[in-house]
Amino acid sequence: MFTIAGLVIGCSDPMQAVNVPPLPTGEASVVAECALPSAYESTLAASEPSAAVAGDPVIAPARARVRTADTARRLACLGLTTLMAGGSPPGKSAVREVAAGAELHAVNNQYVQLQPSRAEDFVSSIGVNIHLSYFDRVYGSGYHSIILPRLQELGLRHLRDGGTSLPNEDWMRTVYDRWREVSQLTGARFTVIVSPRRSDTGPGTNYDDMSHIRDLRDRIGANNIAAWEGVNEHDWSGRPNWAEEVRRSQRALSAQVKADPQMASMHRVLGPSLARPESAGAVGDLSAFMDFGVMHPYDGGQPPTTNLPSHVSGLRVLNANRPLQATEVGYHTASASTNPWHWSLTELAQAKYTMRQYVELWNAGVQRSFGYELIDQGTDKTDMEANFGLLRIDGSRKPAFTGLRDLIALLGDRGAPAFATHPLRVSFSGDTVGVRHLLLEKADGRRFLVLWQDKLSYDKIAKRDVSAPAKTVVIGFERAVTKATTFVPLTTGTAARGTVSNSRLVTLSVPDHPIVVEVVM
């Protein structure tokens, strides 16, 4: 610990008051021209966690996530999000462009006006994939003892699963009674992946008939469904006419939903997913038959959103300018896997990247993101497909589960009415390179500033976590906060790590995973 100009630097706590004179008043908001026009970059120039937090990685250059908006120009300057008049918060319009950009820096002691998103809107963007029809795996054998209790604990608003239709009434009743029970006990709604009605002998092949989704609606309950999603990664099916089948099934799905007044008013239609963005050219433009485009931008063990640009650009021929959902993203912990395209992570690195992927994708304009998946499906550490879970196969919690659970608990505002958020004027100084941020607001007026470092957390060659010291950033408020409290969900859950009262300056140590600052004005 040392002091420069009255600032206390290098504290072990993620937040503490700084005893310095107040900042001068009357500075103008900073709105600078950006290297990437018509875009916003939701990066803060930044800071890292204290040395007490293990696994802090080396610094990686900031990568700008760029998005254009129809309603307003969004500027990404100084590493700070500034939404101009008429704009909307992240997550509300299409991801139009994603490109590399210059590293951004904050200007010390200049106030910037930040416009929050509603906290519950962000929490509602967090989803997870499950497989309630996998009776031969833990989803079946552990449904009552593991799956249902852990889903209640996690607190999600959205789940994704496959809506299979079989000519077996006992099977159908068992599966969809469980869907209904999960939704009723957790409050989560389902995104239902559709596929042709199956026959007694195998998968269905009539891609022009999606009429069975009405039966699925009645079994699941219309109120328990958020969306219907087109066929899943059909470009990997090996079927010679797969592209034509994707087109036919999506048109049929859209027609069924839009022709039913209840579904048309309550449910969204999502496009089909593709395993490879380059497959989109074979399918062509289906944007007229979807409300949201779909992508699966797995990062293969790299930091979150590494592969987002290629997916957004590659899928544009399919989705056009529709807003996007990432219905599969995630990281596996199959430590003995030799897959060269999807590297294994430690459980700690999986947790850091999992938490970051949700905030990064929201900031990039992705309306909802579904992590893959709730629980490991096996114990074979050479099989990556068996090790994507937030939970181990015995139901024990990986750090990714507890970190995400506590982030949701801190930021959730379930039942809050619609309201207009209020801007917050702040300044940033200190070591502010590579730190991202997200500002949220709850209905009671509390603001929540989420900060994290965009950096490598895992060395895939050495197969070990990467550690680096925390960065320190000072946040100045235009007027004194009544109270500011810091939380570190990954390491200390929902317990407060530090509190400042009646202060205009606070110092934060920002790690490579999200910390949360609750601000009461």
Residues 268-277: what's their mean pLDDT? 98
* Distance between CA atoms of residues 41 and 305, nearest Å: 13
Weakest-pLDDT range from 318-327, 390-399, 462-471, 508-517: 462-471
Is a pLDDT exceeding 50 seen at residue 42? no
Q: To the nearest whole percent, how much of the chain has pLDDT over 70?
A: 79
The pLDDT score that the predictor gives to residue 469 is 78
Weakest-pLDDT range from 4-18, 26-40, 172-186, 224-238: 26-40
Buried b (16+ CB within 10 A) or exposed e, 112-142: bbbbbbbbbbbbbbbbbbbbbbbeebbbbeb
Task: Give 228's Cβ-side CA count (13 Å radius).
Answer: 32
Tell me how long the chain is.
Answer: 521
Structural element, H or E, at residue 418: none
User: How far, in whole angstroms, is CA 303 from its chain's centroid?
Assistant: 13
Residues 239-263: what's their mean pLDDT? 98
Is a pLDDT exceeding 50 seen at residue 155? yes
In 175-323, the DSSP E strands lie at 189-193, 225-229, 268-270, 293-295
CB-based contacts of 83: which residues, under 8 Å, 6+ apart? 40, 72, 74, 89, 114, 115
The full DSSP string for 1-23 is -EEETTEEES-SSSEEE--SPPP
86 neighbors 475 (Cβ within 8 angstroms) = no
pTM of the entire predicted model = 0.82
Distance between the two ends of the chain, CA-based, in angstroms? 29
* Distance between CA atoms of residues 173 and 82, nearest Å: 50
As given in the structure block, the two tokens for residue 241 are: 């006419």
Helix axis angle, 213-220 relative to 169-186, nearest 10°?
A: 50
Give me the residue label for tokens 């009461």: 520
The pLDDT score that the predictor gives to residue 109 is 61
Nearest to 162 by CA among 200, 203, 130, 124: 130
Amino acid letter, 420: A
Pairing status of strand 471-487 against strand 515-520: antiparallel
Residues 347-353: what's their mean pLDDT? 98
Residues 195-241 have pLDDT tens digits of 999 988 888 999 999 999 999 999 999 999 999 999 999 999 999 99
Is a pLDDT exceeding 80 seen at residue 29? no
10 neighbors 33 (Cβ within 8 angstroms) = no
Average pLDDT of the chain to the nearest whole number: 83
* Distance between CA atoms of residues 208 and 254, nearest Å: 11
Taking residue 80's Cβ as centre, other Cβ atoms within 10 Å add up to 31
The pLDDT score that the predictor gives to residue 108 is 55
Weakest-pLDDT range from 3-17, 30-44, 157-171: 30-44
In eight-state DSSP terms, residue 492 is: H
Is a pLDDT exceeding 50 seen at residue 100? no
Is a pLDDT exceeding 50 seen at residue 474? yes
Residues 76-82: what's their mean pLDDT? 29
Is a pLDDT exceeding 80 seen at residue 32? no
Domain boundaries, the chain: 2-119+425-520, 121-411
CATH number, span 121-411: 3.20.20.80
* Distance between CA atoms of residues 212 and 164, nearest Å: 9
The pLDDT score that the predictor gives to residue 202 is 85
Task: Give 383's Cβ-side CA count (13 Å radius).
Answer: 8
Residues 252-280: what's their mean pLDDT? 98
Is the peptide bond preceding residue 478 cis, with omega within 30 degrees of 0? Answer: no
* Distance between CA atoms of residues 425 and 110, nearest Å: 10
Q: To the nearest whole percent, how much of the chain has pLDDT over 90?
A: 75
CA distances from 408 to 156, 224, 269, 358, 460 (A): 8, 20, 26, 11, 29
Residues 144-161: what's their mean pLDDT? 99
Kindly indicate the confidence band of residue 123, based on its pLDDT and cuts at 50, 70 and 90.
very high
* Distance between CA atoms of residues 73 and 95, nearest Å: 14
Provide the β-strand partners of residue 425: 113
On the 0-12 / 13-18 / 19+ scale of CB atoms within 10 A, 340 is exposed
In 299-417, the DSSP E strands lie at 324-329, 368-371
Kindly indicate the confidence band of residue 427, based on its pLDDT and cuts at 50, 70 and 90.
very high
Give me the residue label for tokens 């790590």: 497
Nearest to 228 by CA among 288, 294, 284: 294
Amino acid letter, 145: S
